[in-house]
Amino acid sequence: MELVVQALGAVGVIASFLFLARQTRELATQTKISNEASLAELAVSGIERLHQVEQLIVERPWLHAYFYENKACPRSRRRRGEVLTIARMLADTLDYGLMTAQKLRGRDAWYSWSSFSTHMENSPVLRQLVRENPSWWPSLSHHWALAKKR
């Protein structure tokens, strides 16, 4: 009888270990899914930020030239203030996009943010703002410095 109890105990221990192994595997799977979802949220957040800035440009079509047509910053105090505010918002967005895209390296999101950020250096307003304050947008200023070396 004692042998039967020991055998049942051993079976119970083995079953517990097998169950623990299955739980560990399931936890690893859930963690991977959760991490992927978090990365997707980061990417979506960056795109939403960009769309908000682009919406401001759509609502004020005259701004387009300062960011996409190489037009220098206006001299008029009022217009200059508006352009610089949008430029700071855009720099924030690009910096955020590059920073989060670093976590997505090897995926399309990284290449999109990298390419778009490099293109945006063509804006004299944005370029000057970031060069004057590189510590405000470290990912963006670093990205532009690396792009020049290529």
pLDDT digits (tens, 9 = 90+) for 104-134: 766 666 678 889 999 999 999 999 999 999 9
pLDDT in tens, 59-97: 999 999 999 999 999 999 999 999 999 999 999 999 999
d(CA 15, CA 141): 57
Q: Taking a C-beta distance cutoff of 8 angstroms, is the pair 125, 66 a contact?
A: yes
Angle, alpha carbons 95-100-104 (nearest 5°)? 135
Q: Is 75 helix (H, G, I), strand (E, B) or coil?
A: coil
Dist CA 126 CA 131 (whole Å): 9
Give backbone dihedrals phi and psi of 133, rounded to 5 degrees, phi first.
Answer: -135, 60
Q: Model-level pTM greater than 0.85? A: no
Task: Say whether pLDDT at 37 is over 70.
Answer: no
> Residue 39 is which amino acid?
L
